[in-house]
Amino acid sequence: MDPSEIKIKICGIRNLEDGLVAAEAGADYIGMVFVPERHRRITPQEAKVIVNGVRASGVKTPRIVGLFADQSVVEVSGIIDYCGLDLVQLCGQETVKYAGELGCDVIKVVHVAETATAKDDAGTGSRVQEFSGLGHLVTLDRFVEGIQGGTGQGFNWGVAASLSQAGHPFLLAGGLTPGNVAEAITTVQPWGVDVSSGVETDGNKDHQKIREFLGNARDAAAKSV
């Protein structure tokens, strides 16, 4: 794996300083949360400041993602246009039809059941194929009852590794940290990795952890060539 090819997403960005640190450290994507009742949620006005600031910074600009869950197409499309988002990440029960109505690139979160294994993925593979087969990106994350969006909890990496071996591209999420991202990349060989709480301290983005996560991920990808 070429280290330049592993895609890295830093999610849950809530202010311009954190967005700039992620961009300067080489993140390919940064994500901002618009999911109702999530503690990292920001307003479209706050997000627009981040988007404009990152793009005006002079550093290589990551693709900027808005996270949504079971919100109307009208609401999501309005925020896309107002903030100038590059793509959206859908964290709820959205259908392929819904994804196709948004008019921009989509990442669909496929939640992996706690009971899923490499031999019995509990339907994970078919869900991945449903979206990736139509050109959408997919993020694999742990299913936790009642939680939309990132859970911060890991799942059986054997499920993800088997999907990777079958040729399915996806972003790996769920419980990743600077300390385990290298092992995750080596074990799973994902198209990309996605982190939020794993680069935080006391609920806030930790700039050193962001840099360490990106550095460790790139190093692991380089060693996997």
- Is a pLDDT exceeding 60 seen at residue 58? yes
What are phi and psi for residue 55, nearest 5 degrees?
A: -70, -25
Q: Within its chain, how far is the Cα of 13 from the centroid?
A: 12
CB atoms under 10 Å from CB of 56, counted, come to 9
Q: Residue 124 in contact with residue 112, Cβ under 8 Å? A: yes
Q: What is the mean pLDDT of residues 73-99?
A: 96
The per-residue pLDDT for 141 is 84
Q: How far apart are the first and last CA of the chain?
A: 4
pLDDT confidence tier of residue 32, bands split at 50, 70 and 90: very high
CA distance readout (Å), 152 to 80, 126, 174? 25, 23, 5
Please give the helix or strand (H or E) that residue 81 lies within, else none.
Answer: helix 73-83
Q: Report which of 168, 179, 163 is spatially closest to residue 220, judged by C-alpha positions.
A: 179
Pick the range with the lowest mean pLDDT from 117-121, 130-134, 145-149, 184-188: 145-149
CB atoms under 10 Å from CB of 97, counted, come to 7
Please give the helix or strand (H or E) that residue 68 lies within, else none.
Answer: strand 63-68
CA gap 92, 76 in Å, rounded: 13
Who contacts 117 (Cβ-Cβ below 8 Å, separation ≥6)? 156, 158, 159
- Is a pLDDT exceeding 80 seen at residue 144? no
pTM of the predicted model, to two decimals? 0.91
Torsion of CA 75, 77, 78, 83, to 10 degrees: 120
- Match domain 7-219 to its CATH number in 3.40.1380.10, 3.20.20.70, 3.90.1150.10, 1.10.40.60: 3.20.20.70
Q: Residue 90 in contact with residue 72, Cβ under 8 Å? A: no
CB atoms under 10 Å from CB of 142, counted, come to 20
Q: What is the mean pLDDT of residues 159-169?
A: 85
- Is a pLDDT exceeding 50 seen at residue 146? no
- Is a pLDDT exceeding 90 seen at residue 184? yes
Q: What is the CA radius of gyration of the chain?
A: 16
DSSP bridge pairs for 87: 65, 105
- Is a pLDDT exceeding 80 seen at residue 119? no
